[in-house]
């Protein structure tokens, strides 16, 4: 996998407004927010897309969801937030390093897209 923008952020080669970090993931504010709260949760393990994950990644994937919920709670939006994972260019993925978008602070419609 080539070095992505997110890998550069993880390695501190590019600055970011980091809100959370542990051994497995990093979370930072999106530089082009689509909601008042727009935070990305990125695994440190380089996985280009969700479909590239295997059974061996199940603990990591669960961890990303738990971290996202904790961050939403810390941001004051535990009762109303959206969690988005885009898989592939046609789904809106622009950085090919798996990531979860936490979106909150405004109403969201359905269907999304």
> How does pLDDT run across 13-70, given as a tens digit for each residue?
999 999 999 999 999 999 999 999 999 999 999 999 999 999 999 999 999 999 999 9
Which residue in the list 77, 97, 99, 101 is annotated as catalytic? 99
Q: Look at residue 1 and tell me whether its pLDDT is greater than 70.
A: no
Half-sphere exposure of residue 75, counting CA atoms within 13 Å on the CB side? Answer: 25
Mean pLDDT of 80-104: 96
Q: Is 99 a catalytic residue?
A: yes
> How does pLDDT run across 54-65, given as a tens digit for each residue?
999 999 999 999
Do residues 27 and 14 lie in contact, with contact meaning Cβ atoms separated by under 8 Å?
A: no
Model pTM?
A: 0.94
Phi-psi region of 53 (alpha: psi -120 to 50; beta: other; left: phi over 0): beta
Q: Look at residue 10 and tell me whether its pLDDT is greater than 80.
A: yes
Please report the domains of the chain, with CATH numbers, ordered by start residue.
5-104 (3.30.428.10)
Q: Cα dist. 110→14, 82, 113 in Å? A: 35, 11, 8
Q: Look at residue 2 and tell me whether its pLDDT is greater than 80.
A: no
């Amino acid at each position: 996998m080539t070095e992505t923008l997110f890998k550069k952020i993880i390695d501190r080669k590019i600055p970011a407004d980091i809100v959370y970090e542990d051994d497995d993931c990093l979370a930072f504010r999106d530089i082009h927010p689509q909601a008042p709260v727009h935070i990305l949760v990125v695994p440190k393990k380089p996985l280009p897309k969700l479909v590239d994950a295997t059974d061996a990644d199940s603990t990591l994937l669960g961890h990303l969801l738990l971290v996202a919920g904790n961050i939403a709670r810390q941001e004051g939006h535990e009762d109303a937030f959206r969690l988005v994972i885009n898989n592939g260019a046609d789904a809106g993925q622009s950085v090919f390093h798996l990531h979860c978008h936490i979106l909150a602070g405004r109403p969201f419609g359905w269907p999304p897209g």
